[in-house]
Amino acid sequence: MSGFNQFKTTITEDSGRYFRYPVDIPRDAYEAEFEYSFFPKRGENGKNEIDLILTGKPLAEGEGERDIGTRGSSVGRVVISKAYSTPGYERVSPSEIASVVIGRGRLGSKEVEVVVKWRFKRKERRYYAGDMHTHSVNSDGRLTYEKLLKKGKRKGLDFLFVTDHNRTVTGELPAVAGLTAIEGVEITLFDGHANFLGVRQPYSGSFTVDSLEKWRKLRDEARSNGAFIVVNHPFCKRCPWRWELNAEDFDAAEVINGPPREDNRTATEWWKKQLSVKRLVPVGGSDYHRDYFVVSTLGMPVTFVLADSAEKQDIMEGLRRGHTAVASSLKRGAIELRSGEYVAGDEAPFTGDNVVTVRVPYMKRGEKLRITDGEGVLKEMTAKKSGGIAVSVTPRTKGAFFAEVVSGYRGVKRLAFDILLSFMLPEDAFRRHPEFTFALSAPIYFV
């Protein structure tokens, strides 16, 4: 965040009512913060009243500045962003702010000194962490929008999609400081589930379609309205995709749904097979409905999106460009691929001597890092201790190049996993479990 800018002024009974100070905030600002104070708070004739007002740039040529908000003298700090603004102020891009206006109310002193400070955060290109698949009380979840979003914030997430079953977002999603809430809906049919993401009202009719052809028409309308289409848990034992599973129908695949398990392993292997014909973006989602005793599955797994900020439009752009990574928990972080200027999701020219650096923020001792190129598994290495790891390798041929961390559950964690499965998918509990994918990068596509 930039350092504070500030200005001071002295207000008296003979001064005017409003004091306007233009501010210039760059277009790449993600969040702005304003603080103001005045002294004394009270004079011999009573309390001093000094208001902080923010105005926005004109919406059209020839118009004057517009109100962004005010809270009178009731707050000393105001935050403005598109995802969250202090109550009483609009959610807008900080660059839309035109002026800070100091309003003089009743004065109990002959003069009052006012100090206003302001600063801003610039957008930062990095991986932002979020949950792509959650439910609220508007379908079969246990939490209201507000409680769900606040829980996501406590979990350390940067963004969260609300994807209730066949129920588009009602009203406006609450603003929670530090978290971007994004609209979505899970089209939930007997023959399959799919998320339509990023659009408040993706389709005009009813979700009640009963054939693949009708579903495709619904999807096409949603896509034309800007929705990002994800096939959810396509191999779930309870609610799989029963229609023809064609990668061309989707923008992304949910390769990990909830805790790593057999259904996810099948989904991940299917996704790998599609890469030669379809650049299907890998994502993950907790499918959160409620906590299980002391276990909260929100943010299990996490989808990381490489974006300029956590603002909705930047997250959606990162998803569309395939700049993703998936991990079973926030602690694992995003597996990062880089080959020169190219990162996961990019198309890069194959030269025969390309070098790709693979960075894994966290692996547990005994877990395997598996690196795959167009010919198959290129390299596999086992972590000798817990922590991060980085390795550089050269792809052998054209094709999708990606990395994953695979492991099995052991000891107490295996028991805990089986207990959790006994509530979620009892048919999978207390069975012998193979290796699962705990983290996965989107590919660099060498062409």
Q: For 299-330, give the DSSP string.
A: TSSEEEEEESSSSHHHHHHHHHTT-EEEESSG
Q: What percent of the chain has pLDDT over 70?
A: 94
Q: What is the pLDDT of residue 91?
A: 96
Residues ≥6 apart with Cβ < 8 Å to 408: 414, 433, 434, 435, 436
> Do residues 343 and 321 touch, judged by C-beta distance below 8 A?
no
Quick: pLDDT tens for 295-313. 899 999 999 999 999 999 9
Distances in whole angstroms, Cα of residue 86 to Cα of each of 70, 148, 327: 10, 19, 32
Quick: pLDDT tens for 90-114. 999 999 999 999 999 999 999 999 9
What average pLDDT does this structure show over 379-405? 97
Q: What percent of the chain has pLDDT over 90?
A: 86
| HSE-up of residue 173 (Cα within 13 Å, Cβ side) | 28
Residues ≥6 apart with Cβ < 8 Å to 379: 369, 370, 371, 391, 393
> Do residues 404 and 433 touch, judged by C-beta distance below 8 A?
no
Residues ≥6 apart with Cβ < 8 Å to 153: 176, 177, 178, 179
> Do residues 405 and 335 touch, judged by C-beta distance below 8 A?
yes
Q: How far is the C-alpha of 197 from the C-alpha of 184, rounded, in Å?
A: 4
- Distance between the two ends of the chain, CA-based, in angstroms? 39
Q: Give the model's confidence band at 61: pLDDT under 50 very low, under 70 low, under 90 confident, else very high.
A: confident
- Preceding peptide of 260 cis, ω within 30°: no
> Do residues 154 and 180 touch, judged by C-beta distance below 8 A?
no
Give me the sign of the Cα torsion angle 256, 261, 264, 265.
positive
Q: How far is the C-alpha of 161 from the C-alpha of 178, rounded, in Å?
A: 14
DSSP3 helix / strand / coil % (the chain, rounded to 5): 15, 40, 45
CB atoms inside a 10 Å sphere around CB 376: 10
Quick: pLDDT tens for 424-441. 667 666 666 578 999 999
For the chain, give the number of residues.
447
Distances in whole angstroms, Cα of residue 433 to Cα of each of 26, 212, 428: 53, 34, 9
Mean pLDDT, the chain, as a whole number?
93
Residues ≥6 apart with Cβ < 8 Å to 447: 347, 348, 349, 350, 398
- State yes or no: pLDDT of 405 exceeds 80: yes
Domains of the chain: 5-122 (2.60.120.680), 126-446 (3.20.20.140)
Q: How far is the C-alpha of 254 from the C-alpha of 233, rounded, in Å?
A: 6
For residue 26, give both structure tokens.
Answer: 């760059």
For residue 365, give both structure tokens.
Answer: 């001792």
Quick: pLDDT tens for 187-204. 999 999 999 999 999 999
Q: Based on the number of CB atoms within 10 Å of its own CB, is 411 exposed (0-12), middle (13-18) or buried (19 or more)?
A: exposed
Give me the sign of the Cα torsion angle 30, 154, 418, 140.
negative
- State yes or no: pLDDT of 409 exceeds 70: no
